[in-house]
Structure 1
């Protein structure tokens, strides 16, 4: 086996990684959903999002059997960060860089590996999106293109952290974060010829709640609605609070017929929640929906504008 060299910008790279404050943090759904997506799309044993520290590969998100820390000396991902191009190892047992690697000769018995470099906004490569399997396999140009789409989503999540794109009250994405991640998700749908839908929610009566129950209860109402969105939609969907009482969800790989069923079930959940919690108000809302199929225009701004328009027209 061959130990990976150090990148030319190693000092800046490590400083950028430290400044991100992501090492040794808890699991986050924003990354786990992308690991699940990669594992499902390529049907591998393992999918992971990792960062290369000074002496270790630290795994932020992993679906499948893989240690959270791996010595950098034996890390496949330590080789991936040496280039802006993906690294594909079709058969590790016959690759001189990895054939004697303990990750190959013992658990998890890596035979196939593909890694895509994940960059900081300043261009340094912090880590990788990787998939692994215990059998050799092929990985063609189309696979690499799809793999890049998911890696772009991981990179967007990192930049979302850097740009502070989280809504502080609800924990959902804010408007900027929603735009960045939604357009990347739409790009992936377009490449895969997969449909997508966007639902825009206008929560009614917030001012009335603030007046009658106080601003704190108004904030609680918004947090309740965000919680219901989180449980009512899939892990792979993109959720956001755009403005004070405006929310949105991008549903990837979802035709409009399925979207309507999802929205009907969500409405039932919202109504049931208000009764179960004995809220002194109802969480009424208007919703507008836009969608795009394989032949359509996967443009975020247009989809959001159409959904917002429908929600506005739906007002009583």
Structure 2
């Protein structure tokens, strides 16, 4: 009889969940004491050989912190944590050999020999399940309500640390990367993406000052939020999207994301989004108009963020001038 591993179900909100995870820019980063102290404490507190902070990416689970495990990641298809993120709060598996979801899983039948697993779901401030704080043992065991409460408490600490990472990088109004976060993450991308072709888009809202003057700052803020949501909806979840300040936005995208035959042109997507999500000012529909420019480039050790920004900004300015000449 041929056995097949039960793959985790994909959450219905997985695209938004992955965006929430990717905006943290925490994947593939170095270990940090703020997380390592929690996994060490969890391993000792519950007397388990393995404790992990596991983040569930599109095709893998990646371990931000780990005790008792050499691997840095596993496939999402065989991950216990991939199942956990579909739960409200936690998943407990007392004996994986007796669980129909896991008895033939290679993490159970192979060298790791998982028997016991429990994972506390880690959520961001919007409720998206990013991953788990999980415990693993090579022998079956039970997990009491008291133990579960203690694990939940430790998980809450991990969630606060993840939130602190987010708040340091994000614009409070739009929830996009702020300038500091955007520059930092773009420079990290450049350092790890040698010979990769990227595109940099620069956006500027047209007549934003007039919009603020006529409708007040509330309408101006709404315009920024609507435009930000449009960018998030139009670009790939792995792209960097930031608000540089005022009404200026920037996106750095892998060229393959915007040239994929299965992905619509992001500018066309953005236009469609803005047309179907108009602003309303005292009952009258107010459309959002914007100018944009793009530059594409291949990353080299000499690639400089400020130079790329200037090129994209110049392309945007040229388009704005052409629009002005035609009006």
Query: Structure 1 length normalisation: TM-score?
Result: 0.51
Displacement of 1:100 after TM fit?
A: 0.2
Query: How many angstroms apart in 2 are the aligned matches of 1:122 and 1:65?
Result: 30
CA deviations 1:151-207 (Å, max 9, x no partner) are 000001101111229xxxxxxxxxxxxxxxxxxxxxxxxxxxxxxxxxxxxxxxxxx
Q: How does 1:85-100 map to 2 (within 5 A)?
A: 85-100=89-104
Query: How many angstroms apart in 1 are the aligned matches of 2:70 and 2:10?
Result: 23
- In structure 2, runs of 5+ residues without a counterpart are 170-327
CA deviations 1:35-62 (Å, max 9, x no partner) are 0011011000100001000000001100
Among 106, 116, 133, the alignment partner of 2:120 is 116
SS in 2 for 1:142: helix
CA deviations 1:276-300 (Å, max 9, x no partner) are xxxxxxxxxxxxxxxxxxxxxxxxx
Structure number, greater radius of gyration:
2
Residue in 2 that maps onto 1:37: 41
Is this contact kept in 2: 1:13–1:125, CA < 8 A? yes
The list of structure 1 runs, each at least 4 consecutive aligned residues, that deviate by more than 4 angstroms after superposition, is: none
Is this contact kept in 2: 1:118–1:128, CA < 8 A? yes
Count residues in correspondence: 165
Q: How does 1:97-176 map to 2 (within 5 A)?
A: 97-164=101-168
SS in 2 for 1:163: helix
Among 12, 22, 26, the alignment partner of 1:22 is 26
Displacement of 1:122 after TM fit?
A: 1.3
Is this contact kept in 2: 1:50–1:127, CA < 8 A? yes
Structure 2 residue 67 is the aligned partner of structure 1 residue 55: no
Query: How many angstroms apart in 2 are the aligned matches of 1:65 and 1:28?
Result: 16
SS in 1 for 2:40: helix
CA deviations 1:114-151 (Å, max 9, x no partner) are 00100111110001000000000010111100110000
- In structure 1, runs of 5+ residues without a counterpart are 166-316
Residue in 1 that maps onto 2:179: none
Residue in 1 that maps onto 2:238: none
